[in-house]
Amino acid sequence: MPRISIDQQTIEVAAGATVLDAARRLGLDIPTLCHHKGYPPQNSCLLCLVKVDGSPRLRPACSLPAAEGMVIESDSDEVRAARRTALELLLSDHAGDCVAPCQNNCPAYMDVPLMMRQIVGEEFEAAIRTVKAEIPLPAVLGRICPAPCEGGCRRKPGDAPVAVCLLKRFVADEDLSRDEPFVPACQAPSGRTVAVVGAGPAGLAAAYDLQLRGHACTLYDNNAQPGGALRYAIDRQVLPLDVLDGEIDIIRRLGAQFVMNWHMGVDGTLDELRRRHNAVLLAMGPVHGQAGELALATTSRGVSVNKRTFQTQRPDVFAAGGTLGRTRLAVRSLAQGKDAARCIDRYLRGDDPADAEQTVNVSMGRLAEQELAALMLEASPDDRLSPEGGLMRGFNRAEARAEAGRCLQCSCRGAGDCRIRALATQYGANPRRYPGARRRLSRVQRQGGVVFEPGKCIGCGLCVAIVRQMGEPIGLSFVGRGFDVHLAVPGGAGIARGLGQAARACVEACPTAALRFASPEPLVPLTVGAQPIAGP
């Protein structure tokens, strides 16, 4: 019964137990990717490295037997740095985008691929929920946005980007044209109120988001009607007023109050607003000359804020949109309003207003020609559609479905529960630290619904071990050596044949999205040749 010490805690474990076993009994968090209960240690990811008796060579805890008197460091800077390096190396050879580039490029970070799937599936109500989760004015933006999302579309170098902006507009128009447009449910009132100065894109977006989170908003605006530049600076041919009013109306229906023809310094002062409300968001556009009156610190561009919290030097006063400096993109103002609203929400709840740590995103950069060609095979081969009724009319349903079918769905189907991504975030790993050659992006889809993405394989070896242990007749193996090691099935058979009945166990064990089912549940039993075999 060896006794060992881990991070100054002593524990006695059964003979044969590993350091990882001991650490887990102590409740210590040693990360693993290639460790799987019931299978021998793979020793491939080396994330569980620990320092043993002061030796400069770190050892994997998952396979290191606990020996009497061992002194282990499991969370020192040195150990954490090694784990971070292991993650950075694995991610440097990881072919995939955690988040689709369109979503990454969108200042409002809308989940474009999900919206596309919903359009293809004709789930238009679901689609408007997806859109409005991030963008409160989609019908408006769908008419005026220069669509930075489309600039990042993976399909752009292939033929032309998917018409993301028009499709978003289609979803929003479809919604507005219904008798009961979508009005999201709000959380229970928090009892807090927020003054939003300015009812342009930033202010409206902030109000929408704050209302959803249970905070009562009052918008103060110096114009007669809300909308700011959207109403007064844009050609009504491009953005008809009924569209703008339709979307503002939904914000009103959420409970937001509008005080119009209100001028800062004339009808009230910042200090009055601060007294009356629990927080103030300044979103009234450029503030030349007014800054002095507001008694806020400024930069050459506008009001100065903490970039992570949108707070001015007064903790209850936030600023977003044009107030921080002139922006040319409505979507950027809108996104800032929304982000500031989320900071205000955390502030009002007494939390740190700053957004929690950023989830790490792997992004592939430019695709090689054959990678793009392989991706394109999975989507509609058609050219980009133009609305038959002209741009002003937008897509009809059939067109929308067809165009959405062009989406390559390049976001990762495992991004939500990917273990390597979570650990990379936890350890602050930078996926771009070691740029260099990487695996090819490819997807192999076979009957049985198993999607195999070799580019996302980290070579952990679990599927090889599982398939071997379950006695699959064909099985799979690592092929080659060194950097080029990859998985293959004997005789060039498909991955589903190699995995056989072990498919479910392998998909569940896979620490990344290299092995996934195409849909959450396999739709049809796995088949080997013509002979159906029992489903996994």
Partner 1 sequence: MSDAPDPRAFVDELVARRGRTPDQLVPLLNAVQDRYHHLPPEALERIGEVTAIHPADVLGVSTFYDRFRHRPAGTHALRVCHGTACHVRGSDRLDAALRRELGIPEADDTDPARRFTLERVDCVGCCALAPVVQVDELTLGHLDTRGVAEAVRRAAAEQQSQRWSDEAADHAAAAGGGQVLIALDTCCLIGGAGQVYRAVMDHLQRQRGRLNVAVRRVGCADLCRHGPAMQVMDRAGALHTYAGIDPADVESLLDRHFDTGALGLARQWAVKALDRLVRGPSATASTSDEPSPAAVVMPRRRPGHTHARSQQVRIATEHFGRLDPLDLEAYLACGGFDAWRQVVAQADPAGVIDLITRSGLRGRGGGGFPTGRKWAMARQQSAHRKIVICNGDEGDPGAFMDRTLMESFPLRVIEGLAIAAHAIGAREGIFYIRHEYPLARRRIARAIELCAQAGLIGRDALGGRAPLDLSVREGAGAFICGEETAMIASIQGRRGTPAMRPPYPIERGLWRVPTLVNNVETLADVPWIVRHGPEAFAAHGTGQSRGTKVFALAGKVKRGGLIEVPMGTSIHQVVFGIGGGPADGRAFKAVQIGGPSGGCLPASMAHTPIDYEALADAGAIMGSGGLVVLDDGDCMAELARYFLEFTQNQSCGKCSFCRIGTRRMHEILTRLCQGRGRSADIDELESLARQVTAGSLCGLGASAPNPVLTTLRYFRHEYEQHLAGRCPAGRCTDLIRYRVNDRCIGCTLCAQVCPVEAIAMTPYQPHQIDDERCTRCDACREVCPHEAIDVS
Q: Are 104 and 152 in contact (CB under 8 A)?
A: yes
Q: How far is the CB of 73 from partner 1 (least distance, A)?
A: 13
Q: How far is the CB of 515 from partner 1 (least distance, A)?
A: 16
Residue 532, classed as helix, strand or coil, is strand
Does residue 77 touch partner 1 according to CB under 8 A? Answer: no
Distance, C-alpha 216 to centroid of its chain: 28
Q: How far is the CB of 284 from partner 1 (least distance, A)?
A: 44
Does residue 458 touch partner 1 according to CB under 8 A? Answer: yes
For partner 1, the closer of residues 36 and 338 by Cβ is 36
Does residue 205 touch partner 1 according to CB under 8 A? Answer: no
Q: How far is the CB of 89 from partner 1 (least distance, A)?
A: 4
Among 90, 114, 128, 279, binds partner 1 (CB under 8 A): 90
Q: Which residues contact 8 (CB under 8 A, 6 or more apart)?
A: none
Q: Which stretch binds partner 1 (CB under 8 A): 117-125, 220-228, 473-481, 515-523?
A: 473-481
Instruction: Give counts: helices (H), strands (E), the chain.
Output: 20, 17
Cβ count near 188 (within 10 Å):
6
Does residue 437 touch partner 1 according to CB under 8 A? Answer: yes
Does residue 454 touch partner 1 according to CB under 8 A? Answer: no
Which amino acid appears at position 529 of this protein? G
Can you read off the two tokens belonging to residue 491?
Answer: 């005789």
Q: Which residues contact 401 (CB under 8 A, 6 or more apart)?
A: 119, 120, 122
Q: How far is the CB of 479 from partner 1 (least distance, A)?
A: 5
For partner 1, the closer of residues 219 and 424 by Cβ is 424
Angle at 517 between CA 515 and CA 522, to 5 degrees: 145
Q: How far is the CB of 35 from partner 1 (least distance, A)?
A: 12
HEC string of 495-514 equals: HHHHHHHHHHHHHHHCCCCC
For partner 1, the closer of residues 34 and 144 by Cβ is 34
For partner 1, the closer of residues 64 and 496 by Cβ is 64
For partner 1, the closer of residues 398 and 533 by Cβ is 533
R_g of the chain, CA atoms, integer Å: 27
Q: Which stretch binds partner 1 (CB under 8 A): 182-190, 202-210, 364-372, 475-483?
A: 475-483
Does residue 108 touch partner 1 according to CB under 8 A? Answer: no
Q: How far is the CB of 532 from partner 1 (least distance, A)?
A: 22
Does residue 89 touch partner 1 according to CB under 8 A? Answer: yes
Query: Site mask, partner 1, residues 35-74, x = CB under 8 A?
Result: ------x-xxxx--x------xxxxx--xxx---------
Give Cα separations from 164 to 71, 131, 132, 169, 436 (angstroms).
57, 11, 15, 9, 31
Distance CA 234, CA 251 (A): 21
Pairing of strands 59-60, 3-6: unpaired
End-to-end CA distance of the chain: 40
Q: How far is the CB of 49 from partner 1 (least distance, A)?
A: 6
Distance CA 211, CA 190 (A): 10
- E strand residue ranges, 304-412: 317-319
Q: Which residues contact 493 (CB under 8 A, 6 or more apart)?
A: 474
Distance CA 9, CA 72 (A): 9
Which amino acid appears at position 334 of this protein? L
Q: Which of 113, 161, 98 is nearest to 359 (CA)?
A: 98
Does residue 328 touch partner 1 according to CB under 8 A? Answer: no
Which amino acid appears at position 411 of this protein? S
Does residue 481 touch partner 1 according to CB under 8 A? Answer: yes
Which amino acid appears at position 242 of this protein? D
Does residue 142 touch partner 1 according to CB under 8 A? Answer: no
For partner 1, the closer of residues 259 and 493 by Cβ is 493
Q: Which of residues 492-511 bind partner 1 (CB under 8 A)?
A: 498
Q: How far is the CB of 482 from partner 1 (least distance, A)?
A: 4
Among 205, 467, 502, 514, binds partner 1 (CB under 8 A): 467
Q: Which stretch binds partner 1 (CB under 8 A): 184-192, 308-316, 456-464, 521-529?
A: 456-464
Distance CA 80, CA 47 (A): 9
Among 48, 194, 476, 526, binds partner 1 (CB under 8 A): 476
Q: Which of 202, 212, 21, 504 is nearest to 12 (CA)?
A: 21
Among 39, 109, 182, 478, binds partner 1 (CB under 8 A): 478
Among 76, 477, 519, 524, binds partner 1 (CB under 8 A): 477
Rule CB under 8 A: which residues touch partner 1? Answer: 41, 43-46, 49, 56-60, 63-65, 78, 81-82, 85-86, 89-90, 92-93, 434, 436-437, 458-459, 461, 464, 467-468, 474-485, 488-491, 498
